[in-house]
Amino acid sequence: MRCVRALLKQSIADTMEVLIVDNHSQDDSIGIIRNTFGKEQRVRIIETSRNSGYGRGNNAGIMRAEGAFILIINPDNELEADGLEKMARVMEGDPTIGILGPQLVHQDGTIRDSFRTFPTFTDLFIKRTFLRHMFPGRMRRYLQHDVNPELARDVDWLAGACLLMRRDLYERLGGFDPRFFLFFEDTDLCRRAHQAGMRVVYFPAAHARDRKHRLSEGGFLSFFTKKTVRIHLWSACKYFWKWRLLTPTASSQGSSILDTR
């Protein structure tokens, strides 16, 4: 609810349409949504016949969108009132940018490491085990903890919690790859954007509030106790199989700086 309300309060809200995709929820979410926003002319509510995953759900909504830019945002994110205007202005001024992501800030003020280097299987294994304490340098490289989070720059990929994307690029890429039910669809999308010759840019001048605890959290043993961790690892296997013939790059460490003046 707060996500949609924040979108309707955007400084450019009169030029926007908001599409809410209910991916066949099993609770009373759709009823609450309809009662709250059903009479709002700027809001369209889309229901899917089954839960076909995060990527397919977004694809179902974007197919019905009409704008030149597409904002993909999770329901637990809140974009600041002028955030979308800032992001759209940058995209309009630089046609080389295909995907732009704001700074994601937790409620306690900490900044989410939403900008990352393309992962290797080893990176993910180390991150989920005690080995992360033995290879801190490798984790800093992957999670980019040594990079100033206030610096606007090109990155390998951005977490898909809040992304602004050119509609024509989305259509060229065919949207999210439906083979990913949940997780890694954002990594894959950014990688395909790079392949298409477009830049992926982290833009901390715009902010969005993000929840601190994520569905994919957990160490190796959580594989046996947490379904979302198993889904995350299965998606990782699909990702690495898809891109097995290519070596991940680390373009984001020495990338060009975005001029936002």
Residue 75, Cβ density class (10 Å: 0-12 exposed, 13-18 middle, ≥19 buried) = middle
Whole-model pTM: value is: 0.88
- The ranges assigned to domains in the chain are 2-242
The CATH classification of domain 2-242, taken from the options 3.40.50.920, 3.90.550.10, 2.30.30.140, 3.40.47.10: 3.90.550.10
Mean of the per-residue pLDDT values for the chain? Answer: 89
Reported as a single tens digit per residue, the pLDDT across 199-218 is: 999 999 999 999 876 554 55
Give the range among 20-29, 69-78, 222-231 with minimum mean pLDDT. 222-231
Overall average pLDDT of the 39-68 stretch: 92
Q: What is the pLDDT of residue 59?
A: 96
Q: What is the pLDDT of residue 29?
A: 82
Overall average pLDDT of the 18-27 stretch: 89
Reported as a single tens digit per residue, the pLDDT across 131-179 is: 988 999 899 999 999 999 999 999 999 999 999 999 999 999 999 999 9
Instruction: Give the separation between CA 16 and CA 8, rounded to whole angstroms.
Output: 8
* pLDDT value at 225 more than 90: no
* pLDDT value at 255 more than 90: no
Confidence of residue 252 (pLDDT cuts 50, 70, 90): very low
